[in-house]
Amino acid sequence: MKLTLKMYGTPVLRQKAMEITKFDSKLKELSEEMFRVMYEAKGIGLAAEQIGRKERIFVIDIPPLSDTNQNGERENPNVQMPEIFINPKIISHSESTQKGIEGCLSFPGITAEVERFYEVSAEYMDLNGSKKIINAKGLLARAIQHELDHLNGVLFIDKISPIKKILLDGKLKKLLKETKKNL
């Protein structure tokens, strides 16, 4: 299996991914391919749609040094990375939010401030189909919300301020043109 990153403008990025029901070696292979593409592009998260697949799965790997708050303390000291999230759902979230600069491997060179919940709890499955629950804060919570959006065809540029979107318009149009050329 050799899949490549899909850029903004590829139709699959706007589609809703499908629930996974088969927990077999093909699924494991898909997850391995997702990690390969993510690491190659130096990302911290990747959803299946970003390599042209429609399964409800994303992967995240946040290095310990990035998993810190403003005081340099670990946000999620008990969470094991990397992690694979299958059929994920957010089951609860904090009232408080966080603002931070976000990027996406499907939007090379484009970043913008996005407001997200500061803390989320998510339910998901692992490669064996066993249910798992994660409580995540900070960047990890941001990544989970960003990747889950992908599975619903939602992109981070949908969540930025209208002014920022106008400012990014030129870059987005250029990327769209580039993508359409390569489709």
The reply on whether position 104 binds Co ion by CB under 5 A is: yes
Interatomic CA distance for residues 8 and 127, integer angstroms: 28
State yes or no: is 32 an active-site residue: no
Q: Which is nearer to Co ion, 125 or 151 (CB)?
A: 151
Shortest Cβ 12–Co ion spacing (Å): 13
The reply on whether position 62 binds Co ion by CB under 5 A is: no
Percentage helix, strand, coil for the chain under 3-state DSSP, each rounded to 5? 35, 25, 40
Shortest Cβ 57–Co ion spacing (Å): 14
The reply on whether position 60 binds Co ion by CB under 5 A is: no
Q: Which is nearer to Co ion, 12 or 23 (CB)?
A: 12
Shortest Cβ 151–Co ion spacing (Å): 11
Asked if the peptide bond before residue 82 counts as cis, ω within 30 degrees of 0, the response is yes
Catalytic residue, chosen from 55, 102, 119, 147, is: 147
DSSP of 15-33:
SPPB-----SHHHHHHHHH
Residue nearest to Co ion (CB): 104
| Beta-carbon contacts of residue 108 (< 8 Å; ≥ 6 apart) | 7, 175
The reply on whether position 38 binds Co ion by CB under 5 A is: no
109 CB neighbour count, 10 Å cutoff: 8
Residues that bind Co ion (CB under 5 A): 104
Residues labelled catalytic = 147
